[in-house]
Amino acid sequence: MTVNNKVCDPVLCSGEEVLSRDLLLSGTFEALIAGDAPTLRLLTEEERRDSLASILAVRPAGDLWVFAYGSLIWNPVIHSVEQRPARISGWHRSFCVATVSGRGSPDNPGLVLGLDEGGACDGVALRLAEEDLAHELELLWRREMVAHAYIPRWVGLLDESGMRFGSGIAFTMDPLASAYAGGLSHEARVQRLATASGSIGSSADYLFRTRDGLRALGIMDEALEGLAADVEAAQLQSSARLR
């Protein structure tokens, strides 16, 4: 499996993304999230700074990588100088994050990906340039830590032969967060993904783009493939009923 300088497939990247660097730099992303869900408590700038400072305080020696397992694959936003396939152990990709904003609403919460405990996960490691770390990590924290759901942590990055090549930051799910939806049934998960949407898009689009982004990298996630097929079928059935 090879990874080009552009992580996502050109077809996936051809459209304009709602979630962009400009949106994060201007603070508009936070305003969009607040507009979707006025009662949702967002992290303050101080809380985000403290979170970032805490993880950098225990940074392992060597290059700094970020582990991409969902939308960071097909819409990374941050600038990286190297991308390579990576596997992490002890965590698996799961639609376990309920969202009442962005890709869902308070009336119809959506779902996005988190890393839940157990198993392993294949994704992409993004290496950041040392001279750009402060700016790029600030953008990353504005994106991923807008509200409380994730616990950023260092994970070991394994290459295709199973050898460790570095350490990366991964956004793992906090099972104590109110956004944790790991206990949903498969049917409930399909229903949310098929129907929920918010100011930056739909949960279904997030799912399909992640599936296609993984495929473009030669990564076949059987659980995600099956979920996507069931969501597509649910949407077709809904469209047929409306005719």
> How would DSSP label each residue in 69-127?
-SHHHH---S--SEEEEEEEEEEEEEEEEEESSSS--SSS-EEEEEEEEEEEEEEEEEE
Q: Is 154 helix (H, G, I), strand (E, B) or coil?
A: strand
d(CA 32, CA 13): 22
d(CA 100, CA 25): 22
- Concerning whether 144 is annotated as a catalytic residue, the answer is yes
Amino acid sitting at position 71: S
How many Å separate Cα 220 from the centre of its chain?
Answer: 17
CB 109 within 8 A of CB 178: no
Q: Which of 17, 131, 144, 187 is catalytic?
A: 144
What is the DSSP secondary structure assignment for residue 179, as one 8-state letter? Answer: T
CB 9 within 8 A of CB 216: yes
Burial of 173 (0-12, 13-18, 19+ CB in 10 A): buried
Tokens read off for 143: 């994106």
What is the DSSP secondary structure assignment for residue 167, as one 8-state letter? Answer: E
CB 119 within 8 A of CB 88: no
Positions marked catalytic: 144
